[in-house]
Amino acid sequence: MNLKEKKVAAHDIMLRDGMQPKRHVMTLKHMKDVATGLDRAGVPYIEVTHGDGPGGSSVNYGFPAHTDEEYLSAVVPLMKQAKVSALLIPGIWTVDHLLMAKDLGVHTIRVATHCAGADFSEQHINKARSLDMDTV
Q: Which positions lie near another protein, rule CB under 8 A?
A: 58-60, 90-95, 113-117, 119-120, 122-124
Q: Least Å distance between CB 95 and another protein?
A: 5
Amino acid in the structure at residue 22:
K
Residue 8 to residue 6: CA distance in whole angstroms = 6
In sign, the C-alpha dihedral spanning 37, 13, 128, 62 is negative
- What residues contact 12, with CB distance under 8 A and at least 6 apart? 38, 43, 45, 46, 47
Please give the order of strands across the beta sheet that includes 108-111.
Answer: 11-12, 45-47, 83-88, 108-111, 134-135
Shorter beta-carbon distance to another protein: residue 9 or 59: 59
Residue number with CB closer to another protein (107 or 120): 120
Q: How far is the CB of 123 from another protein (least distance, A)?
A: 6
Nearest CB to another protein, comparing residues 103 and 122: 122
Report the nearest approach of another protein to the CB of residue 57 (Å). Answer: 8
Measured from the CB of residue 83, what is the shortest distance to another protein in angstroms? 25
Q: Closest CB to another protein among 66 and 83?
A: 66
Enumerate residues 6+ apart whose C-beta is below 8 A from 18: 26, 51
